[in-house]
Amino acid sequence: MAPDMDDRAVIQQALAEMYELKADIKAKEERVAELAAFFKGYDEFENPGKYQYGDYTLVVSPNTRVDDALAHSVVGDRTYAKVSKVVIDTTKAKKMLTGEQYESIQKKFAHRIGVEKH
Residue 4 has pLDDT above 80, yes or no: no
Pairing, β 49-53 against β 56-60: antiparallel
Which of 25, 45, 49, 27 shows the shortest CA–CA distance to 36?
45
- How confident is the model over 15-24, as a mean pLDDT? 96
pLDDT in tens, 55-113: 999 999 999 999 999 999 999 999 999 999 999 999 999 999 999 999 999 999 999 99
User: How many angstroms separate the CA atoms of 49 and 61, rounded?
Assistant: 7
pLDDT in tens, 39-54: 999 999 999 999 999 9
Q: What share of the chain is helix, strand, coil (3-state, %, to 5)?
A: 60, 10, 35
Residue 5 has pLDDT above 90, yes or no: no
User: How many angstroms separate the CA atoms of 74 and 66, rounded?
Assistant: 11
Distance of CA 2 to the CA centre of its chain: 34
Q: How confident is the model at residue 3 (pLDDT cuts 50, 70, 90)?
A: confident
